[in-house]
Structure 1
Amino acid sequence: MRDALHILQLEDEPADAELTERELRKAGIAFVSRRVLTRDAFVAALEEFRPDLILADYRLPAFDGLEALRLAQEKLPDVPFIFLSGAMGEEFAIETLHQGAADYVLKGRLSKLVPAVERALQNAEERRARKEADAALRDSAERFRNMTESAQDGIVIIDDNGLITDWNSAAERMFGYRRQEVLGKDMHALAAPPRYLDDYRQHWPNFRTSGRGAVIGTTIEAAGLRRDGGEFPVELSISAAPIQGRWHAIGIIRDISERKRGERALQRSNRFLRTLSRCNETLIHATDEFQLLRDMCRLIVEVGEFPLAWVGYVDSGQPQSIAPMAWFGEHAEEFVADHKASWPEEERLGCPMCVTLNTGDIQTVKDISAYGGCAPCQVRARLFGYCSSIFLPLKGAGGTVVGALAIYARETDAFGRDEYAILAELAADLAFGITTLRERGAREESARQLERALEGTIQAIATTIEARDPYTAGHQKRVSQLAEAIARALAMPEERVGGVRHGAEIHDIGKIYIPAEILSRPGRLNDVEFKLIKMHPEVGYDIVKDIDFPWPVADMILQHHERLNGEGYPRGLKGDEIVLEARILAVADVVDAMASHRPYRAALGVDAALEEIERHRGELYDGAVVDACISLFRRQGFSFA
């Protein structure tokens, strides 16, 4: 990976480019930047500079931003493209997103640039990871197909509607139908004698919902129906596997008029494939690293029918040591607990788990009773009936071995070439899951630390206000309580609810610049004094606008006295020009102001306040916000704490 991001700027104003770079540096982003002005220079930079991120103005004297987006998508489709413009209409901005832009940011609001960049880069990384996962899935499917094609027995897979989804060459020879002729056809209507249909129809609904049935996991003798209408005796083994969230039946069909060749190998392959499928399903839903390890060990034992699976990590605190992390199976806890935590050099060289942890190579023991190394492990394994084993490395970022997965079998030489490949894939998938969970945990902790820091900033500001004017502080606390309750009633996402709460806590910060004698004056204010009061949203906005909050706190402060019909201040904004958070804050502010005592008048009470906002619903105040507020007081019993 590169040490620094390569950022390509399509920008004709050097000063704007410098402001952009300064904003990125403030956020601690390491980058190398190249600025271009023309189409030819842009195309050359795509090929030579190979950017990780593109920031583009949408209109230049000699080049068009949308054309640049088209070229970038053609040559570097995975590189995020963000429009950075001085003025961009909403319709045009939406169109750029439809055309494939990752985001857009106005030059007048550069505080939103870093979150947009981080979000775009994270989305690009997630897309890359999904592509890799899809490629791995396709490779697994191809591997599975190769295995089934080499099988001597017929292998047929049908979905939960009874339709054929796979049909190998051996099945073609048995039934007389080529694969392309049967895909999507009803298996029982096509290749089973009619006498079996009643039992099939009776038991199939239960299989569709549970993957269970009387014949699932068993081997039975039955009859198949050839293309020419003739019946032939078969031995049929049926198992269930969840594929893309739906139960599928996997049938292994053997013409018992022939010798039973390869029976054991096929059954074993089927078992391994079921294990891989179930383990991958667990990986998709995993949220905790150690629960993932326990679930994987359990599935290997329960689905794979192995007596023991366990995971050991390299103990970073004690060199040449194994730290058992998870285990499942017969005698598992006893076996793992008795496993040496550290070992001398001579034993370490003979222990297959140790060799895997130290070299990163897969180790197999075909016959534990004949294995000459690691005598203590050999004695325990023979005592518990383990006959063969495999040790698979778990590799993290950069190929570093973080641990190993050990699987034991009751039969000798249980891990053949095909099974070896499947288990290697399973271990690679598990290692990827571990790495993903650790990275996700690190990102979440970083986000929590940032939010705590921002909350601390807000509390520090609120404390400053309270020290100067306890009345204003009390008003802000009550407005914050009501605004938060309204936001929740509107079913806003929890992170936006937090933003509403924090913005309301300091919405009157601009009053810190207004003389205290004006704020507390009991009589009517003159025009000059009232104009001074009306400046507090702008003053508050200027105080906090450069703080990089993840919520629109500055806009809330600036707009909380704006009104839907444009009669508010300081800028006379209308309708949706006012952010939703500020519309919520406007209603909460009016209700508390009227319901509470003011220096120049006694409290008017909550009922009068609710009548006021109801009277001007849709005119001055947002209708949905008003309805939520009234419901809180009149139906849900809200009161100020």
Structure 2
Amino acid sequence: MFSINTANTARFLIVEDDVDLLNALCEMLTGAGYEAVGSSSGARALKVFGEKEFDVVLADLTMPEMNGTELLKKLHGADPDLVCIIMAGQGIGKKAIALLKEGAFDFILKPFKLNYLLSVLPRALEVRRLRKEKAALRKMVDIYERCRNITSELDLDVILNNTAEAVLDVSQTEETSIMLPSDGGNELYIAAIRGKGRSDLLKIRIPVNKGIAGWVASHQETLTLQGKIDDPRFSPVQPRSDIGFSISMPLLAGERFVGVLNVNSTKDRPFSIQVIRHIGLLACAAASALENSRKHKELREIEQKYRLYFENAFEGIFQTAWDGRLLTVNRKMAAIFGYNSPEEMISGEKTFDQWDFWPEYRRLLGAQNELRNFEHCIQLKNGGKIWISANVRTVKDVHGNITYYEGTMQDITMHKFTEEELVRTRDCYLTLFEEFPTPVWRSGPEANFDYFNKTWRQFTGRTMAEELERGWTEGIHPEDRELFFETYREAFSTRKIFNCEFRLRRCDGAYCPVISLGKPYHDSKGNFSGYIGACYDFSTHHKADDNNAETIQKLETILNEIITAFSLTGEKRTLYGAGHQFRVSELACSIAALLGFTEKRIKGLRTACILHDIGNIYIPTEILSKPGKLNDYEFDLVKNHSQEGFNILKNISFSWPVAQIVLQHHERLNGSGYPFGLSGNNILPEAKILAVADVVEAMTSRRPHRPAFSLKAALEEISEQKATLYDPHAVDQCIKLFLEEGFTF
């Protein structure tokens, strides 16, 4: 085989079994500035043709092993746009027509002058150029359609399959694969592969910094390899021995790396620039499609989360056009207005502009574009009325025109009613505090006195302002002041209950002997807030210590009444809790009496019963009064009320373990209760009694999510769970109270 290379882009393959003629033709073409490759047989010519691209083939018609006709068929099978010139003897005759049908461009009859051949070549090369341009145009149209098919899809598997099939067809190779980065970005895995016996490689993973694909991913550069590679950068992965030429391209969407495209050929012939360009176009389309698929998946996930929130939100959510037509509402919104479904509300006769609140919304939104926590009363579909809190905003286009309104609404009827009840309750007990028939005082956390009720002021004959200006201290007899303040300061520093006897000047100027009893109190978060105290005038019977003891008992009763009033604040937060604590107290104390508790111990139990649900002040009213079943999150909030109650009460110096009883009243004998799962003797006896009384009262009372159970059902519950959940002695005495003693709530 004879071969000469030049800088000219035209490349000729000469196939001639006459070696002298073959060499002469090669020398002539080389002398004319072309690249010429010669071969003395058709078989060797086909091998050479497989390794390089040729523009024109000059082939002898009659050769041993493979004649020119057979060679022509095989060459055109590999390159349909190839220009073939057949060299034949004078007797070619009818064979010429058959050769033209097989794709022969022209004939040169032997013998011929070499210069004649040179005159034929320019026309052959022009035809080759036109054929290649036409083929390139067809190929570009085909590539465009393939790219469009790839980029028009959002499904990942379809994108991968379309890309792999297109690359395999365009490159005319035996194998192609697409590798994608793992979720963590530290690995590459084969997401799609084409090639005989290669499907078992699907999903195989390699570290992103290893091998050929890893190098391409790291450097984001195209890599072309031919033959055996001795490069440590690609260790431990090396091209297989059967791969003659390969190309690996990074798939980049902008600057974002999305994968690697690998193309392998068993032929030693490199890809043409045009084929590499076509593969690059397909790679760009695939990268764009993969990125769109990823964003679409993320968007769908976001939409799904939003839809889940939208459909299951606690508040009503809506969108309405500028004219009041409802665009979308969720289930909660429809339920608030009394509709069975969002579809029914949207298709209903009423649009928002027909609701009496809409004109006011429009007016306010026109002024400020947004409403926050706007509370008002609305009329429902059935004519009923509820209170709602609305948050609404105006959405405008780029030109400032109103597109729609969107917002949320929440039914706050129960909250509104509870607020009103709390105000009434607070006013009631402030009035009670003020009108209490015993002188009452209060001091802040800094030991400064900040309140004296009307009875106190009437006793001393001074105004609130006068008392707060430390006028009250002037009313203490000079001989008693040091003792009083020493007792007060000591109690204040230790947060203990104290009592002190001293003489206080009355409005008529006379000093009267009084006993003052003070107890520390705390705010709703358990923080020390100061002392509340009451005074008792015993000037009419200041004769015996027994009377002093009786006076202190009366003052304790007074302060306990104040504690009772305090407990009502938590109870009033729900309609269904009204009276619960007092009924539980009545039943629990009756059980304790039958069990032989002392009167003093029963007093402690009574205080704990009255305060056992004080922790409910931390639970949202919507949950306490929810008409349906509580979800896990809501139930966890409710379960926390015993701990919150303990936090409020733990620093109050009761004479009994009130805070611990409140903390344990939901513990159960077998350890299944909360908050600590205490069991057996680890639970206080008072807490065991409170647990039984609490269950019986709760079951026989109506709740937001259910009607009241019968007394029989409640007694069966505690009887069946006796010694498992509930203390057997408390259960027995409870049942005896109802069935034998005639106890009723």
Q: TM-score range by the shorter chain?
A: 0.3 to 0.5
TM-score (norm 2): 0.31
TM-score (norm 1): 0.35
Q: Which has the larger radius of gyration?
A: 2
